[in-house]
Structure 1
Amino acid sequence: MNTIFPICLLVLLGYVLKKTEFISKTTQYEMNQLAFKILIPVNLMQSIIKTDINSVFNMKLIIFCIVSVLMIVLFSMMFVNKITSDKSKQGVIVQGLNRTNYVLLAIPICESLCGSDSIGVTALLVSIIVPILNLLAVLVLQYYSGGSKTIKQTIISILKNPMIIASIAGLLVQLLHIPIEGFVASVINKISSCATPIALIVLGATIELSNMKKNKNLIIIFNILKLMLIPIIVIFISVFIFNYKGIELASILVLFAGPVAVSSFPMAQSMGGDGKLAAEIVFTTTIMCLFTLFVWIVLLSSCHML
């Protein structure tokens, strides 16, 4: 609750700033570009750099999460055309169903549930899963953008994506043990700390309540899939087939039952997706998650699994 509630307040602030005309449409666009191209990538790179990969490496858990994410992408691409025929909306839905606000929520929630001693497991998962989620998001949005790019053009487009560049940079710093110290570390930290607040304020400024009425059915279906159906299936498999519990189950819970990633909104808007729908599903899943994630935590804790 203490982690998710401030997110809602920042989104609300953005909405109020837009309604009072404190933020213009031009400013919204410029702030969105700043968040997508600089702030969020630096935040992602920092989270990867900070992770001690060697001490908490869990191949079984990593493979389980990667396979689960790939299956969600596959099935959502198979059935999304039954929900909407609009390609720009299809890309946003497929991206949103497999992409959670993991960078922001995973460590604080898992630490509050399982303590700081075992949080390295979650931090490692963040450093590996988040770049994969970003790569899949770029591929999905590229696929549904309706362009006729060649394979070479698609690969170049992916490699030029700020989130992919940040992931590669972070992993290189980790693997090559490049020291990030002094004023460089300070600058990265300061830029990183701006990422989430600015992205959330821009998100709130993008929301149109009248437009949400038009997308009402899509939003309801999406929230049921994202916050109920997918978590039920993944957590059932996690508990009854793989016997995950404690920090491993907590990490899985946040990955598959958390709200849609804030970064999915600026990415969708910048890559030809329906930016308004992307903002709406981030907003609604974040609000609904206050209830659904709480229920999951109480349920699993009462069964002594967390």
Structure 2
Amino acid sequence: MSLFELFTRTLDITLPVFAMVFVGLGLKRLGWIDRAFVSTASALVFKATLPTLIFLSLIKADLAVALDVPMLVFFALATLCQCALSWGWASWRVKREERGVYVQGSFRGNCGVVGLALAAGMYGNYGLSAGSILLGVVIVTYNVLSVVVLAMYQPGQATDWRSLLGKMFTNPLIISVLAALPFTALSISLPGWLVTSGDYFASLTLPLALICIGATLSLRSLRESQQVAMGASVMKMVILPVLSTVAAWLVGFSGRELGLLFLFFASPTAAASFVMVKAIGGNVALAANIIAITTLMASVTVTVGIFTLRLLGWI
């Protein structure tokens, strides 16, 4: 396969995902969708369509193939190391009041939407099934680490730990993973009509979520981005994915497992990071800038990353 053909195949995976993001940006600028639509649609995705997609993906999955315990453990450990590395850098280079936002923006990826969409585009049913199981680890590790790092740098705020932990363990995505496991483990099947209806509903998830991401992007925020936001974005989209993916390869991951890990490592900063910063009264402008910059960077960095890994023969 020539380099051009390899690059074209890579674009076939990444362009459909990021095209939908830019469609959302265009629709917002045309005035065809507004903030109320984005708020309602985002809530629908988070509370209903994405949990349905994850549930159906898992009950259809072959756990012998999709449940890769070493990969789950490696991702959790890699995330912990990413948080520690960005935290160490922030302690040296970032003002104290901005450290919590910087660190969260540096390691917390949008795996539930962008990562899962890329995994589905690249690996089909395996990407959805294995990605959905991996998402359970993602949700727990990201939320726990985010609560800790944000609370550390908000000394003037009374952090409601019970509320934050309660929201974490009542997360619809976690519930959908737990609800699906008995069906998968015991090979319990659902009526055909119910699965088909669920598939119709779940199919709304990825295009709707990606459009909402695009609609929330602010080009003005990008132009006004601070040095801290750009630093966190480079850390999130370049430094940490490269280090984590190379580490995964060195310990023995390859093929679709390494590809799935890369896609999750290389996902742009999650919109949920903005919500958590706002909840504790942090620097929401900085959080928004990091989300905007990383989302725009992802269309380039993810494409280059997949192309490079394929060129090297790692995936």
The bucket for the TM-score relative to the shorter chain is 0.7 to 0.9
Q: Is the 8 A contact 2:52 2:176 kept in 1?
A: yes
* Offset at residue 158 of structure 1 (A): 1.8
RMSD: 3.2
User: What residue identity is the alignment partner of 2:261?
Assistant: I
- Which residue among 114, 121, 125 is the counterpart of 1:108? 121
* Offset at residue 174 of structure 1 (A): 2.1
User: What residue identity is the alignment partner of 1:293?
Assistant: V
User: What residue identity is the alignment partner of 2:101?
Assistant: K
C-alpha distance in 2 between matches for 1:87 and 1:25: 29
Partner of 1:131: 136
Partner of 2:268: 260
User: What residue identity is the alignment partner of 2:37?
Assistant: T
- The SS at the match of 1:4 is helix
Are 2:232 and 1:222 equivalent residues in the alignment? yes
Partner of 2:12: 2
Partner of 2:4: none
Structure 1 residues 209 and 292: CA distance shift in structure 2, 3 A: closer
C-alpha distance in 1 between matches for 2:196 and 2:273: 30
* Offset at residue 128 of structure 1 (A): 2.8
How is 1:1-306 mapped onto 2 (pairs within 5 angstroms)?
Answer: 1-55=11-65, 57-80=67-90, 82-83=93-94, 85-86=97-98, 89-90=101-102, 92-94=104-106, 96-97=108-109, 99=111, 101-109=114-122, 111=123, 120=126, 125-143=130-148, 144=150, 147-151=158-162, 153-239=163-249, 241-256=250-265, 258-260=266-268, 264-265=270-271, 267-273=272-278, 281=290, 284-306=293-315
Q: Which moved more, 1:154-163 or 1:214-223?
A: 214-223
Q: Is the 8 A contact 1:102 1:254 kept in 2?
A: yes
* Offset at residue 248 of structure 1 (A): 3.2
User: What are the superposed Cα offsets for residues 12-32 of structure 1, whole Å, 9 maximum, x if unpaired?
Assistant: 222222223222322222222
Q: Is the 8 A contact 1:72 1:97 kept in 2?
A: no
Using the aligned pairs only, state the percent identity: 20
Structure 1 residues 90 and 185: CA distance shift in structure 2, 3 A: same
Q: Is the 8 A contact 1:91 1:140 kept in 2?
A: no
TM-score (norm 1): 0.78
Structure 1 residues 31 and 225: CA distance shift in structure 2, 3 A: same
Q: Which moved more, 1:90-99 or 1:194-203?
A: 90-99
